[in-house]
Amino acid sequence: MPKELWTIGRLLQWTEQYFLGKGVESSRLDGEVLLSHILGKDRIYLYTHYDEPLTKSELDAYRPLVIERGKGYSVAAIIGQKEFMGLSFTVTKDVLIPRPDTETLVEDILSFIPKEQGPYILDVCTGPGTILYSLLHYLPAATGLGLDISKDALAVAVTNREQLQLTERAKLCASDLFTALQKDPQYEKAFDIIVSNPPYIPSEEVKTLAPEVLHEPVLALDGGIDGLDFYRRLLTEAPRYLKAGGYLAVEIGYDQAEAVIELATRVGVYGDVVANKDIAGIVRELRWQKLGD
Ligand code: GLN
């Protein structure tokens, strides 16, 4: 950067141009978020202090973040934080970054479980704790267990559990889907609700994802040849751990509703499916109630 005086305004303009040149879509917003992160202020501050110069140490701290964003890392991964359901989650390169799409599932569950109820919730493939913790936060009497195959992801989930003050109500366990629960009879028909946002991108498509997504763990995205591997296992194995009348809710990819509903029908223990759409009108969540034993 040239040696003239770098005010907040000038730096934001420069960053926007730099990002545009790198093909970053939300070029203005991303610069604002990164700079407010460095300054420890909210975005409004940037506009109420538009003509104020930045110190050398602020500029030195900002520069590497801009370079990382230019390389395709998402802002969330760079600042290590992402908001989901009004809560702030710590994120790292080891986890799937919480996406607004997943709020469809969480909002659905919250829409019919009364606040005073204390369901026991299992989140399979919990990642940073996205679904489990947002449900526990808004259902103060609920308790839960989060499973993930990735120990690195679980370490992030531990951090979030502390930050969100859910250590008393949430347990975590390393597990390839339900595998860790198999030998312990206490988990049989134990859960009122099982939720999951498993990897569901067909293997061939993973390579074609946006650069921001390609910097996320493939393990959290790759759902096998047709993207449905985890639904096959989830739908057949979940009934063993779900109470009669309990709910199973999964996030699905934009074109997977029909195939996943068909899988559930074949398992034969679920009632009618409830399909919920995201704001774009695409079915992103499927939910079933387990029929009586
Ligand atoms: N929705 C994510 C994406 O499109 C994928 C999440 C997943 O595989 N569970 O990148």
In-domain check, residue 78: no
Q: Given phi > 0 = left and psi -120 to 50 = alpha, else beta, which region is 191?
A: beta
Q: Given phi > 0 = left and psi -120 to 50 = alpha, else beta, which region is 261?
A: alpha
Q: 53 with 157, same domain?
A: no
Distance 257 CA to ligand 1 centre (A): 15
Ligand 1 proximity of 197 Cβ (cutoff 6 Å)? yes
Q: 34 with 144, same domain?
A: no
Report the number of distinct structural domains present in the chain. 2
Q: 60 with 167, same domain?
A: no
CATH of the domain at 253: 3.40.50.150
Q: 115 with 231, same domain?
A: yes
CA distances from 113 to 104, 106, 208 (A): 15, 11, 38
The domain containing residue 168 runs over which residues?
93-289
Distance 56 CA to ligand 1 centre (A): 39
pLDDT of residue 2: 54
Q: Are 261 and 273 a contacting pair, CB within 8 Å?
A: yes
Q: Which atom of ligand 1 is nearest to the CA of 221?
A: 8
Test site for ligand 1: of 97, 125, 126, 197, most ligand atoms within 8 A of the Cβ:
197
ipTM: 0.91
pLDDT of residue 136: 98
Distance CA 114, CA 101 (A): 23
What does the pLDDT profile of the chain (293 residues) look like in tens digits?
556 799 999 999 999 999 999 999 899 999 999 999 999 999 999 999 999 999 999 999 999 999 999 999 999 999 999 999 999 999 998 999 999 999 999 999 999 999 999 999 999 999 999 999 999 999 999 999 999 999 999 999 999 999 999 999 999 999 999 999 999 999 999 999 999 999 999 999 998 998 889 889 999 999 999 999 999 999 999 999 999 999 999 999 999 999 999 999 999 999 999 999 998 999 999 999 999 86
Structure-token pair, residue 77: 């991964």
Distance 216 CA to ligand 1 centre (A): 10
Ligand 1 proximity of 200 Cβ (cutoff 6 Å)? yes
Q: 107 with 44, same domain?
A: no
Q: Are 85 and 110 a contacting pair, CB within 8 Å?
A: no
Domain boundary residue among 71, 103, 124? 71
